Amino acid sequence: MCHSCFSVSIILLIYFQRSLPGDYTSGPLGVDKVESVTKTWEYASFFPNLDAYIRENIQNKTLSSLGVRQKTTGQLVGWMLEREDGSLGMLHVHPDHRGKGIGTVLIQKLSEEVLTQREAVYVDIEPGNRKPIKLYERCGYEIDSAQLTWINYKPQ
Ligand SMILES: CC(C)(COP(=O)(O)OP(=O)(O)OC[C@H]1O[C@@H](n2cnc3c(N)ncnc32)[C@H](O)[C@@H]1OP(=O)(O)O)[C@@H](O)C(=O)NCCC(=O)NCCS
Protein backbone atom coordinates (compact mmCIF):
# COMPACT_ATOMS: atom_id res chain seq x y z
CA MET A 1 0.00 0.00 0.00
CA CYS A 2 2.13 2.91 -1.24
CA HIS A 3 1.25 6.59 -1.33
CA SER A 4 1.99 8.58 -4.44
CA CYS A 5 3.27 11.38 -2.23
CA PHE A 6 6.50 12.43 -0.58
CA SER A 7 7.12 10.80 2.74
CA VAL A 8 9.80 10.57 5.39
CA SER A 9 10.79 7.05 6.37
CA ILE A 10 11.68 6.47 9.97
CA ILE A 11 13.30 3.25 11.06
CA LEU A 12 13.05 1.74 14.51
CA LEU A 13 16.29 1.51 16.41
CA ILE A 14 15.69 1.41 20.15
CA TYR A 15 12.82 2.42 22.36
CA PHE A 16 11.88 3.20 25.92
CA GLN A 17 8.99 1.21 27.33
CA ARG A 18 6.08 3.19 28.71
CA SER A 19 2.82 1.75 30.03
CA LEU A 20 -0.84 2.74 29.72
CA PRO A 21 -2.65 4.67 32.47
CA GLY A 22 -4.75 2.35 34.70
CA ASP A 23 -8.10 2.96 32.99
CA TYR A 24 -6.85 1.71 29.61
CA THR A 25 -6.05 -1.67 28.15
CA SER A 26 -4.64 -2.78 24.81
CA GLY A 27 -5.11 -5.71 22.42
CA PRO A 28 -5.41 -6.61 18.75
CA LEU A 29 -8.28 -4.94 16.86
CA GLY A 30 -11.42 -6.95 16.08
CA VAL A 31 -13.23 -6.70 12.73
CA ASP A 32 -16.03 -4.74 14.42
CA LYS A 33 -13.54 -1.85 14.88
CA VAL A 34 -12.57 -1.51 11.22
CA GLU A 35 -15.13 1.20 10.52
CA SER A 36 -13.70 3.39 13.32
CA VAL A 37 -10.26 3.09 11.74
CA THR A 38 -11.27 3.86 8.16
CA LYS A 39 -13.59 6.73 9.15
CA THR A 40 -10.88 8.62 11.02
CA TRP A 41 -7.88 7.99 8.78
CA GLU A 42 -7.20 11.16 6.82
CA TYR A 43 -5.87 9.33 3.77
CA ALA A 44 -8.60 6.67 3.54
CA SER A 45 -9.98 8.16 0.33
CA PHE A 46 -6.77 7.21 -1.52
CA PHE A 47 -7.63 3.54 -0.99
CA PRO A 48 -11.07 2.61 -2.33
CA ASN A 49 -11.09 -0.90 -0.82
CA LEU A 50 -9.49 0.03 2.48
CA ASP A 51 -12.35 -1.26 4.62
CA ALA A 52 -12.35 -4.71 2.99
CA TYR A 53 -8.53 -4.81 3.00
CA ILE A 54 -8.25 -4.17 6.74
CA ARG A 55 -11.17 -6.44 7.56
CA GLU A 56 -9.64 -9.35 5.62
CA ASN A 57 -6.20 -8.90 7.19
CA ILE A 58 -7.57 -8.67 10.69
CA GLN A 59 -9.79 -11.70 10.15
CA ASN A 60 -6.93 -13.77 8.67
CA LYS A 61 -4.42 -12.36 11.20
CA THR A 62 -2.05 -11.60 8.28
CA LEU A 63 -1.14 -8.13 9.55
CA SER A 64 -0.71 -6.96 13.13
CA SER A 65 -2.90 -4.34 14.72
CA LEU A 66 -3.26 -2.81 18.16
CA GLY A 67 -6.13 -0.97 19.77
CA VAL A 68 -6.46 0.79 23.13
CA ARG A 69 -9.77 0.64 24.97
CA GLN A 70 -10.93 2.65 27.98
CA LYS A 71 -11.95 0.12 30.62
CA THR A 72 -14.73 2.16 32.26
CA THR A 73 -16.55 3.09 29.04
CA GLY A 74 -15.46 0.24 26.78
CA GLN A 75 -14.67 2.86 24.14
CA LEU A 76 -11.93 2.21 21.60
CA VAL A 77 -9.78 5.34 21.93
CA GLY A 78 -6.72 4.62 19.78
CA TRP A 79 -5.14 2.25 17.30
CA MET A 80 -2.26 1.55 14.96
CA LEU A 81 -1.93 -1.01 12.17
CA GLU A 82 0.73 -2.78 10.16
CA ARG A 83 0.42 -2.39 6.39
CA GLU A 84 1.27 -4.92 3.69
CA ASP A 85 4.42 -3.03 2.60
CA GLY A 86 5.84 -3.58 6.09
CA SER A 87 5.22 -0.07 7.36
CA LEU A 88 3.18 0.84 10.42
CA GLY A 89 0.53 3.50 10.15
CA MET A 90 -2.98 4.85 10.66
CA LEU A 91 -1.89 5.85 14.17
CA HIS A 92 -4.77 7.64 15.84
CA VAL A 93 -5.77 8.59 19.39
CA HIS A 94 -9.16 10.14 20.09
CA PRO A 95 -8.67 13.87 20.89
CA ASP A 96 -10.21 13.49 24.40
CA HIS A 97 -7.58 10.91 25.31
CA ARG A 98 -4.42 12.50 23.93
CA GLY A 99 -1.38 13.49 25.98
CA LYS A 100 -1.64 10.46 28.29
CA GLY A 101 0.99 8.33 26.61
CA ILE A 102 -1.47 6.20 24.60
CA GLY A 103 0.16 7.08 21.26
CA THR A 104 3.56 6.19 22.73
CA VAL A 105 2.37 2.77 23.91
CA LEU A 106 0.70 2.03 20.55
CA ILE A 107 3.91 2.85 18.69
CA GLN A 108 6.16 0.93 21.07
CA LYS A 109 4.05 -2.21 21.45
CA LEU A 110 3.18 -2.63 17.77
CA SER A 111 6.74 -1.84 16.67
CA GLU A 112 8.07 -4.47 19.06
CA GLU A 113 5.55 -7.06 17.85
CA VAL A 114 6.21 -6.44 14.14
CA LEU A 115 9.97 -6.42 14.74
CA THR A 116 9.73 -10.08 15.78
CA GLN A 117 8.38 -10.88 12.28
CA ARG A 118 10.30 -8.49 10.01
CA GLU A 119 13.90 -7.33 9.68
CA ALA A 120 13.01 -3.64 10.00
CA VAL A 121 10.08 -1.58 11.12
CA TYR A 122 9.32 1.83 9.67
CA VAL A 123 6.60 4.44 9.36
CA ASP A 124 5.86 6.91 6.57
CA ILE A 125 4.90 10.42 7.59
CA GLU A 126 3.18 12.72 5.14
CA PRO A 127 4.93 16.09 4.57
CA GLY A 128 2.08 18.11 6.05
CA ASN A 129 2.16 16.11 9.28
CA ARG A 130 5.52 16.88 10.92
CA LYS A 131 4.26 16.97 14.52
CA PRO A 132 4.42 13.22 15.17
CA ILE A 133 8.10 12.99 14.17
CA LYS A 134 9.32 13.99 17.65
CA LEU A 135 6.96 11.43 19.15
CA TYR A 136 8.39 8.67 16.94
CA GLU A 137 11.94 9.77 17.79
CA ARG A 138 11.13 9.57 21.49
CA CYS A 139 9.89 6.03 20.88
CA GLY A 140 13.25 5.06 19.40
CA TYR A 141 12.79 5.75 15.68
CA GLU A 142 15.48 7.55 13.75
CA ILE A 143 14.94 9.53 10.56
CA ASP A 144 16.47 7.86 7.52
CA SER A 145 18.90 10.25 5.85
CA ALA A 146 17.47 9.33 2.43
CA GLN A 147 14.10 11.00 2.08
CA LEU A 148 11.98 8.94 -0.25
CA THR A 149 9.32 9.65 -2.82
CA TRP A 150 6.80 6.93 -3.53
CA ILE A 151 5.58 6.86 -7.11
CA ASN A 152 2.93 4.41 -8.21
CA TYR A 153 2.77 2.58 -11.56
CA LYS A 154 -0.62 3.03 -13.22
CA PRO A 155 -1.28 0.72 -16.20
CA GLN A 156 -2.16 2.77 -19.35
C1 LIG B 1 -0.14 11.68 17.18
C2 LIG B 1 -1.10 11.11 18.22
C3 LIG B 1 -1.38 9.64 17.87
C4 LIG B 1 -0.44 11.18 19.60
O5 LIG B 1 -1.26 10.49 20.53
P6 LIG B 1 -1.12 10.76 22.11
O7 LIG B 1 -1.82 9.64 22.80
O8 LIG B 1 -1.50 12.12 22.48
O9 LIG B 1 0.45 10.58 22.27
P10 LIG B 1 1.29 10.62 23.62
O11 LIG B 1 0.44 11.06 24.75
O12 LIG B 1 2.02 9.35 23.75
O13 LIG B 1 2.35 11.72 23.27
C14 LIG B 1 1.93 13.06 23.10
C15 LIG B 1 3.00 13.80 22.37
O16 LIG B 1 2.81 13.67 20.97
C17 LIG B 1 2.92 14.95 20.35
N18 LIG B 1 2.11 14.95 19.11
C19 LIG B 1 2.58 14.43 17.98
N20 LIG B 1 1.71 14.61 17.00
C21 LIG B 1 0.65 15.24 17.52
C22 LIG B 1 -0.58 15.68 16.97
N23 LIG B 1 -0.88 15.51 15.66
N24 LIG B 1 -1.48 16.26 17.78
C25 LIG B 1 -1.18 16.43 19.09
N26 LIG B 1 -0.03 16.04 19.66
C27 LIG B 1 0.89 15.43 18.88
C28 LIG B 1 2.49 15.93 21.40
O29 LIG B 1 3.09 17.15 21.16
C30 LIG B 1 2.97 15.29 22.68
O31 LIG B 1 4.29 15.69 22.92
P32 LIG B 1 4.68 16.28 24.35
O33 LIG B 1 4.47 15.18 25.33
O34 LIG B 1 6.11 16.69 24.16
O35 LIG B 1 3.76 17.45 24.55
C36 LIG B 1 -2.43 11.89 18.27
O37 LIG B 1 -2.15 13.25 18.52
C38 LIG B 1 -3.27 11.78 17.00
O39 LIG B 1 -4.06 10.86 16.86
N40 LIG B 1 -3.12 12.75 16.07
C41 LIG B 1 -3.88 12.76 14.83
C42 LIG B 1 -3.46 11.67 13.87
C43 LIG B 1 -1.96 11.71 13.56
O44 LIG B 1 -1.36 12.75 13.38
N45 LIG B 1 -1.39 10.49 13.48
C46 LIG B 1 0.00 10.29 13.17
C47 LIG B 1 0.15 9.96 11.74
S48 LIG B 1 1.82 9.60 11.37
What is the residue with the minimal CA distance to atom 24 of ligand 1? 131
Return the number of other C-beta atoms located less than 10 Å from residue 136's C-beta. 25
- The torsion of the CA quartet 129, 132, 133, 135, rounded to 10 degrees, works out to 180
Ligand 1 contacts CB of residue 98 (under 6 A): yes
Give distance in angstroms: CA of 94 to centre of ligand 1: 10
* pLDDT tens track for 66-121: 999 999 999 999 999 998 888 899 999 999 999 999 999 999 999 999 999 888 89
How do residues 12-55 score in pLDDT, each as one tens digit?
Answer: 555 556 799 999 999 999 999 999 899 988 788 888 889 999 99
| Whole-number Å distance between alpha carbons of 108 and 139 | 6
pLDDT of residue 2: 44
Ligand 1 site, residue 128, Cβ cutoff 6 A: no
Rg (CA), the chain: 15
Ligand 1 centre to CA of 132 (Å) is: 6
Whole-number pLDDT of residue 62: 92
Q: Which domains does the chain have, with CATH numbers?
A: 2-149 (3.40.630.30)
Atom of ligand 1 nearest to the CA of 102: 7
pTM for the whole structure = 0.86
| C-beta 86 within 6 A of ligand 1 | no
User: What are the φ and ψ backbone dihedral angles of 53, each rounded to 5 degrees?
Assistant: -60, -50
Per the CB < 8 A criterion, the answer to whether 112 and 140 are in contact is: no
